[in-house]
Amino acid sequence: MDGISSKPPERIVACPGCGGPSVYAPRNRYRPFCGERCKNHDLGAWASEEHRVPDPTPPDDFDLGSSPLQ
């Protein structure tokens, strides 16, 4: 080797908040977001329940085929 370290090129991804370029590397503390603003906006959307993870649990009154207790 000639003493030159060959680091892989930085990966650039689309910011999930604004769609702009975002460096996906340890030096970007907000990754995968481009910055603090996009990260906080996304966090606020989760906190206000604009984003949700589907819940596969059936409601309490869902008939599972068993006979009701009498």
Domain membership of residue 19 (yes or no) is yes
Supply the pLDDT for residue 52: 83
Do residues 22 and 36 make contact, with C-beta atoms less than 8 angstroms apart?
no
Q: From the centroid of its chain, how far is CA 63?
A: 34
The total number of structural domains that make up the chain: 1
* Cβ burial 15-39 (10 Å sphere, 16+ → b, else e): bebeeeebbeeeeeebbbbbeeebb
> pLDDT of the chain along its 70 residues, tens only?
556 667 778 899 999 999 999 999 999 999 999 999 999 999 999 899 888 888 887 777 666 666 555 5
Cα 23 from Cα 8, distance rounded (Å): 13
Supply the pLDDT for residue 57: 79
3-state secondary structure of 46: helix
State which residues form the domain around 33.
Answer: 11-47
Domain membership of residue 4 (yes or no) is no
Domain membership of residue 58 (yes or no) is no
